């Protein structure tokens, strides 16, 4: 069910339209992102800090500026436009060509990690979950060079890659029209858990150890700007793309309304704005004018924007209350990995989730945070509890917006893309809620039990509330201990 079917929200959204000033940006290069065959494993990635590198990988289901900058965009001629592949709505990838002999790799595009990882022929590539992946044969490339510097990446799931820092020519096309020469990457010779991976291109903010791909293209005069942009297609759509060197207004649903820019925090080298408040739906107010489904944070939460993560990993103390508000009218279950799901992707029992960043709210319609898995009778709810005191904002959010990643100006831009039903709501039209977030306590749990004993538990609320009491609150108390 699309957000447009929520009549109350439509009324608010109609009031939101604002005319914004116009400006233009340099032309860009667009890289198409495509879709592949199904895999048996539903892959979710999450971060694990292993200095000096950051990356993530987790399997969860088998089978500082204070102001926001907004402006209207002019049209731009693409400079680099690369196709992206949509892997079962979990990971997006593009084709990269490496070495003098143009070895081709299906490369995951990952804004939550900081380097290009290529696996050598020494690593494993035998799996029942995927077709035989490509491996980089350095002996056949005359431009390959080893630096002699050992390096490795560790992953939260226990996956890892160990090897050497190396360099070679990396291109986005087989003709090498657009290429980065002597580009540094991690050449993996030992790995665990990477049987189905070919390569991963990290696009975090600037890293001293491994220069970013777009940064080197700019230094070599291939593009005018380090800005890159992402259009991640919705389910079943193969038109995803990565733009290097700027942005393209043709991807916007309403170019005249422009892009809303959110300032970034200095949170390691991640693309991390702050979440100041969160709400589920726009109504459901208490008698005193406050709401049980919206909260502001006295200390803003860091939110890592990560195209390499599928779900939204919610701050571990915020998650219990948020998931309770999301599933309050639905019958849901939970896997042992912490993924909530229902039997059908029917948005009628769910409300939009709104995140407040900068000077605006960004909506996530139920039609985007509910999506089918590869297993029958399972519709995944795209929020999961983070083991950390921050958020990781994955593709469940990013699929709603055309995103502009602007390192030089310390900001990320978001605008509903041409097929999106999401909306950006200015704070002047929807203020931050008065309710300040308080973590769930044992007293909250006892009070909830009393309420449901007194009023009774309906079939619908059995999983939406009682299940929450027996499972989610306990997990939250453990995190607070």
Residues in the chain: 481
Report how far residue 133's alpha carbon sits from residue 149's, in angstroms, rounded to the nearest whole number: 26
Q: At what angle do helices 473-480 and 442-455 cross, to 10 degrees?
A: 170
Report how far residue 136's alpha carbon sits from residue 122's, in angstroms, rounded to the nearest whole number: 9
Half-sphere exposure of 62 (CA within 13 A, CB side): 3
On whether the CB atoms of residues 262 and 412 are closer than 8 A, the answer is yes
The answer to whether 306 is a known catalytic residue is yes
Point out the catalytic residue in the list 306, 395, 406, 423.
306
On whether the CB atoms of residues 348 and 1 are closer than 8 A, the answer is yes
The answer to whether 408 is a known catalytic residue is no
On whether the CB atoms of residues 84 and 32 are closer than 8 A, the answer is yes
Report how far residue 476's alpha carbon sits from residue 481's, in angstroms, rounded to the nearest whole number: 9
Of residues 311, 331, 286, 301, the one with CA closest to residue 459: 331
DSSP structural state of residue 449 = H
Letter string b/e over residues 369-394, b meaning 16 or more CB atoms within 10 A of that residue's CB: bbbbbeeeebbbbbbbbbebebbbbb
On whether the CB atoms of residues 303 and 391 are closer than 8 A, the answer is yes
The alpha carbon of residue 333 and the mean position of all alpha carbons in its chain are separated, in whole angstroms, by 23
Dihedral angle of Cα 324, 325, 327, 329, to the nearest 10 degrees: 120
Report how far residue 477's alpha carbon sits from residue 469's, in angstroms, rounded to the nearest whole number: 11
Point out the catalytic residue in the list 55, 81, 83, 110.
110
Report which secondary-structure segment, H or E, holds 455. Answer: helix 442-455
Report how far residue 304's alpha carbon sits from residue 386's, in angstroms, rounded to the nearest whole number: 12
Report how far residue 215's alpha carbon sits from residue 227's, in angstroms, rounded to the nearest whole number: 9
Respond yes or no on whether the N-terminal peptide bond of residue 390 is cis (omega within 30° of 0).
no
Which residue shows structure tokens 């049980």? 292
Of residues 279, 266, 273, the one with CA closest to residue 306: 273
**Dmax (CA) of the chain:** 76
Two structure tokens written together for 17? 């339209």
Strand-pair partners of 95: 106
Helix %, strand %, coil % of the chain (to 5)? 15, 40, 45
Active site residues: 110, 306
């Amino acid at each position: 069910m699309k957000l447009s079917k929520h009549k109350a929200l439509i009324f608010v959204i109609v009031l939101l339209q604002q005319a914004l000033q116009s400006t233009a940006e340099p032309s860009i290069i667009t890289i198409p992102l495509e879709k592949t065959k199904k895999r048996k494993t539903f892959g979710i990635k999450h971060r694990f800090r292993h200095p000096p590198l950051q990356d993530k990988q987790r399997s969860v289901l088998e089978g500082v500026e204070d102001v926001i900058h907004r402006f209207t965009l002019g049209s731009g001629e693409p400079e680099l436009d690369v196709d992206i592949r949509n892997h079962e709505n979990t990971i997006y990838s593009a084709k990269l060509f490496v070495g003098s002999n143009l070895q081709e790799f299906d490369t995951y595009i990952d804004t939550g990690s900081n380097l290009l990882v290529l696996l050598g022929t020494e690593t494993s590539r035998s799996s029942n979950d995927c077709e035989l992946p490509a491996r980089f044969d350095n002996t056949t490339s005359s431009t390959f060079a080893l630096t002699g510097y050992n390096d490795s990446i560790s992953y939260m799931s226990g996956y890892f890659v160990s090897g050497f820092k190396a360099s070679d020519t990396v291109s986005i096309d087989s003709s090498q029209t657009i290429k980065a020469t002597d580009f540094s990457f991690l050449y993996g010779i030992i790995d665990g858990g990477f049987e189905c991976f070919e390569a991963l291109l990290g696009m975090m903010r600037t890293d001293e150890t491994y220069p970013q791909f777009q940064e080197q293209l700019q230094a070599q005069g291939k593009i005018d700007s380090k800005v890159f942009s992402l259009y991640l297609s919705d389910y079943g759509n193969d038109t995803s793309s990565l733009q290097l060197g700027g942005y393209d207004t043709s991807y916007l649903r309403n170019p005249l309304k422009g892009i809303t820019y959110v300032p970034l925090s200095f949170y390691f080298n991640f693309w991390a704005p702050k979440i100041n408040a969160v709400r589920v739906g726009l109504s459901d107010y208490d008698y005193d004018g406050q709401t049980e489904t919206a909260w502001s944070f006295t200390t803003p939460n860091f939110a890592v924007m990560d195209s390499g993560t599928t779900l939204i990993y919610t701050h571990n103390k915020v998650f219990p209350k948020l998931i309770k508000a999301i599933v309050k009218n639905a019958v849901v279950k939970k896997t042992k990995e912490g993924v909530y799901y229902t039997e059908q992707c029917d948005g009628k029992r769910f409300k939009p989730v709104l995140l407040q960043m900068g000077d605006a709210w960004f909506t996530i319609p139920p039609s985007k945070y509910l999506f089918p898995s590869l297993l029958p009778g399972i519709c995944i709810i795209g929020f999961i509890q983070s083991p950390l005191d921050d958020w990781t904002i994955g593709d469940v959010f990013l699929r709603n917006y055309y995103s502009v990643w602007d390192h030089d100006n310390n900001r990320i831009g978001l605008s509903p893309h041409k097929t999106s039903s999401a909306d950006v709501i200015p704070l002047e039209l929807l203020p931050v809620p008065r309710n300040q977030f308080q973590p769930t306590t044992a007293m909250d749990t006892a009070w909830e039990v009393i309420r449901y004993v007194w009023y009774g538990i309906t079939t619908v609320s059995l999983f939406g509330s009682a299940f929450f009491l027996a499972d989610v609150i306990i997990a939250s108390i453990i995190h607070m201990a």
